[in-house]
Amino acid sequence: MTFCLSAGCATVYNPATEREETVLDPAIESALGSVAKAQMGLASLKVGRVTGEQMARVQAIGARIARSSDPLAFPVQFGVIQDKTLNAFTLPGGTIYVHTGILDKASDDELAAVIAHEMGHVAARHVAKHLQADLGFTVLVNIAAAAGVGPESARLADSLYGLFSRGFSRRDELEADRLAVRYSSRAGVDPEGLVSFFEKIQREEQERPMGRVPVWQSTHPLTGDRIKQAKEEIEKLKGRRFCPVCGREYPGQVRFCERDGTPLKEKRGVR
Ligand SMILES: [Zn+2]
Ligand SMILES: [Zn+2]
């Protein structure tokens, strides 16, 4: 176990990762999110020619997944960027952006899976963990305190661009996939959307000329075991029931929530 030996961090149990973790203070991460938005030209949740319909689709599905996720350190926000590439990413402080390229290609279940995957990164605090490993708590606290004007602030955008071009660690990606299956299923969305979206972008890659790999895929390498793990997680959820009030999950034979007595529902869409 690691201890928090400087300002700006705390050691807490995270229900998403089921681990005790030393992680950046959520208030500091939110402040870094504001700095990153200013540095990256993302002042608005709507970037470029995005229709009201596209915005409403992402925000409705996002809100539905957010209600079914593990408790989050901050309220999550959803934005849309006009861009043909298949991409979605998460800024510090829980702002999730989806490119219109994904909206054009994905069914609602698949879009829910992509958003749930990004939500997995938020719940597991993967952005904060990347930043604290890359820059260290002291630098992050300084950047947040200087609100983007100090000499160290450019390092934040550099670190995030590096993350968005290389992607998270393989371990973090597998963890976000596992959480994506859990959250979409809990939200009453068919978690098979994750598998079918993976398969869709695999086909997309084969049809494309070399060197034009969609970004969400290039930063999320689709090894066979990612698809295999997603299928295994879906299998594990079969026959399980959940409480529509508190979200707690139970084996198939239980009928009422032990906590609040609510009749349990079957996981819809899990075949
Ligand atoms: Zn990811
Ligand atoms: Zn309950």
**CA of 220 relative to ligand 1 center, distance in Å:** 6
CA 60 from centroid of its chain's CA atoms: 16
Ligand nearest to the Cα of 243, by number: 2
Classify the C-alpha dihedral 140-174-95-213 as positive or negative: positive
118 is catalytic: yes
Q: How far is the CA of 74 from the centre of ligand 2 (A)?
A: 23
What phi and psi, each to the nearest 5 degrees, are found at residue 100? -65, -25
Q: Is the pLDDT of residue 270 over 70?
A: no
Label residue 48 left, alpha or beta by phi (over 0 means left) and psi (-120 to 50 means alpha).
left
What is the per-residue pLDDT for 1? 40
Residues with C-beta atoms within 5 A of ion ligand 1: 176
With a pLDDT cut of 90, the percent of the chain lying above it is 54
Q: Which ligand is nearest to the CA of 122?
A: 1
Q: What is the pTM of this model?
A: 0.84
Residue of 101, 88, 89 lying closest to 50 (CA atoms): 101
Q: How far is the C-alpha of 161 from the C-alpha of 221, rounded, in Å?
A: 17
- pLDDT in the model for residue 208: 65
Tell me what the mean pLDDT of segment 194-216 comes to. 72
12 CA → ligand 2 middle, Å: 24
Ligand 1 center–CA 97 separation, angstroms:
12
pLDDT band at 271 (very low <50, low <70, confident <90, very high): very low
On the question of pLDDT at 183 being above 90, the answer is: yes
Measured between alpha carbons, how far is 80 from 59 in angstroms, rounded to an integer?
9
177: its two tokens: 């996939």
From the CA of 250, which ligand is nearest? 2
248 CA to middle of ligand 2, Å?
6
The single residue listed with the structure tokens 């990153």 is: 36
Q: If you measure from the C-alpha of residue 53 to the centroid of ligand 2, how many angstroms do you get, rounded to a whole number? A: 34
Which pLDDT belongs to residue 268?
60
Please give the distance, rounded to the nearest whole angstrom, from the Cα atom of residue 35 to the centre of ligand 1. Answer: 22
Distance from C-alpha of 172 to C-alpha of 19, rounded to nearest angstrom = 13
For every residue of 79-103, DSSP letters joined together read EEE--SS--EEEETTTEEEEEHHHH
Q: Are 185 and 237 in contact (CB under 8 A)?
A: yes
Give the separation between CA 218 and CA 225, rounded to whole angstroms.
16
- Which bound ligand lies closest to the C-alpha atom of 262? 2
Q: 240 C-alpha to center of ligand 2: Å?
A: 14
Ligand at minimal distance from the CA of 258 is: 2
Percent above pLDDT 70 for the chain:
89
Please report the pLDDT score of residue 46 as a whole number: 96
- Of 118, 175, 192, 233, the active-site residue reads 118
Q: For residue 243, what are the contacts with CB-CB under 8 A and spacing of at least 6?
A: 249, 250, 257, 259, 260, 262, 264, 265
What distance in Å separates the CA atoms of residue 268 and residue 271, rounded to the nearest whole number? 8
